[in-house]
Amino acid sequence: MDHQNVHSEDPACDVGTAGIVASNPGGSATLEVGPSKTHKTPSAAAAVAKSGDHIQIEPGEYFDCAVWSANNLVIEGIGPGVVITDKTCMGKGLFVIEGNNTTVRNLTLTRARVPDMNGAGIRLDKGSLTVDGVKFIDNQNGILGGVPGTTVTIRNSDFDRNGICAGACAHGSISAMSICCALRIRVSPTLGRLIRSSRGQCAQK
């Protein structure tokens, strides 16, 4: 199987995650998600998350979706095999981002399906999103955005078999208003457009 790697070396895009939690000193919490934890599913954590919280998801398959409304969240898998699958929120995606400055890392988002064929692994409705070490597999869209003022930063992530050609091949792996940078991304053959951005800054090699 052929893969396409997308790289960018724009230093302006080198934003870390440490400042996300630090932006709310003393007021942030770590919310643990897993079968033996207080929050059994990502959606349960999303319902109570506050600005600056750190959501840690244990390995496992979660037939769940979540709407993340708080600002400055870090949402991450804490081991291999964290899979979010087969359920969408708001008719949009597995994860729907409604807050500012969100980081998602170290997990798999797969099989997002909605009737209008726009089911996304991540639907970005607001603010900036950083994706690091995330696998997007077999979704109608990998990342779907396009709202003015939103920005996506992507690192070390895989896009595999995303997109759909129902009526027209208008979907694909990444669709966003502005793609700040894309570092070490592996993209397998995709139905529809690979990357669609009104102000993309990715150098494809």
Q: What is the mean pLDDT of residues 121-138?
A: 94
More confident residue, 161 or 68: 68
SS3 state of residue 46 = helix
Q: Which pLDDT score is estimated for 187?
A: 67
Neighbouring-strand partners of residue 86: none
What distance in Å separates the CA atoms of residue 170 and residue 107, rounded to the nearest whole number? 26
Please give the pLDDT value at position 37: 97
For the record, the structure tokens of 164 come out as: 């759909």
Q: How many other C-beta atoms are found inside a 10 Å radius of the C-beta of residue 168?
A: 9
Across the range 12-33, mean pLDDT stands at: 59
Helices (H), the chain: 18-22, 42-48
**Residue 112, CA distances (Å) to 1, 9, 10 in order:** 23, 31, 31
Neighbours of 79 (CB within 10 A): 12
The pLDDT of 182-201, averaged and rounded, is 53
Q: Taking all residues of the chain, what is their mean pLDDT, rounded to a whole number?
A: 80
Cα distance from N-terminal residue to C-terminal residue, the chain: 17
Per-residue model confidence (pLDDT) at position 202: 40
Q: What is the pLDDT of residue 10?
A: 52
Quote the pLDDT of residue 147: 84
Q: Residue 15: its pLDDT value, please?
A: 42
Single pTM value for the model:
0.79
Of 78 and 162, the one with more pLDDT: 78
pLDDT grade for 163, boundaries at 50, 70 and 90: confident
Q: What is the pLDDT of residue 193?
A: 46
Task: Give the pLDDT confidence score for residue 172 in this predicted structure.
Answer: 58
Residue 114 is predicted with a pLDDT of 95
Q: How confident is the model at residue 23 (pLDDT cuts 50, 70, 90)?
A: very low
- State percent of the chain over pLDDT 70: 67
Q: Give the whole-angstrom CA distance, residue 28 versus residue 50.
A: 7
Q: What average pLDDT score do residues 27-43 get?
A: 96
Q: List Cα–Cα distances, 136 to 73, 129, 157, 164, in angstroms.
A: 20, 15, 8, 14
Percentage of residues of the chain with pLDDT beyond 90: 55
**2-38 as b/e: b if 16+ CB within 10 A:** eebebebeeeebebebeebbeebeeebeebbbbeeee
User: Phi first, then psi: what are they for 178, rounded to 5°?
Assistant: -145, 125
What value does the mean pLDDT take over residues 127-156? 90
